[in-house]
Amino acid sequence: MRRASRKDVLDAVFDRAKNIDLGDSELRADMARHLCILVSGYIDQSIKAFTKEYVERRSGPTVVRYVEASSKNLTNLKAEKLTNHLLSFDSDWRSPLAVLIADERKSALDSLIDVRHKIAHGSPSDVTIARVQGYYNEIQKLLDGVRVLMGLP
Query: In angstroms, how far is the first alpha carbon of the chain from the final one?
Result: 21
Residue 145 has pLDDT above 80, yes or no: yes
Q: Which of 1, 5, 7 is nearest to 143 (CA)?
A: 7
The reply to whether 79 falls in a domain is: yes
In this predicted structure, what is the pLDDT of residue 125?
A: 87
Residue 3 has pLDDT above 80, yes or no: no
Q: Which of 27, 7, 32 is nearest to 118 (CA)?
A: 32
The reply to whether 7 falls in a domain is: no
Domains held by the chain: number: 1
User: Whole-number mean pLDDT of the chain?
Assistant: 95
The reply to whether 6 falls in a domain is: no
In this predicted structure, what is the pLDDT of residue 4?
A: 73
Give 58's Cβ-side CA count (13 Å radius).
Answer: 12
Contact 137, 37 (CB under 8 A): no
Residue 1 has pLDDT above 80, yes or no: no
Torsion angle of alpha carbons 45, 51, 53, 56, nearest 10°? -140
The reply to whether 51 falls in a domain is: yes
Residues 24-64 have pLDDT tens digits of 999 999 999 999 999 999 999 999 999 999 999 999 999 99
Q: Taking the model in full, what pTM does it have? A: 0.93
The parent domain of residue 116 ranges over: 21-149
The reply to whether 5 falls in a domain is: no
Write the DSSP string, the chain.
Answer: -PPPPHHHHHHHHHHHHHTS-TT-HHHHHHHHHHHHHHHHHHHHHHHHHHHHHHHHTTS-HHHHHHHHHHTTT--S--HHHHHHHHHTT-GGGHHHHHHHSSHHHHHHHHHHHHHHHHHHTT------HHHHHHHHHHHHHHHHHHHHHTT--
The reply to whether 9 falls in a domain is: no
With cut-offs at 50, 70 and 90, classify the pLDDT of residue 124.
confident
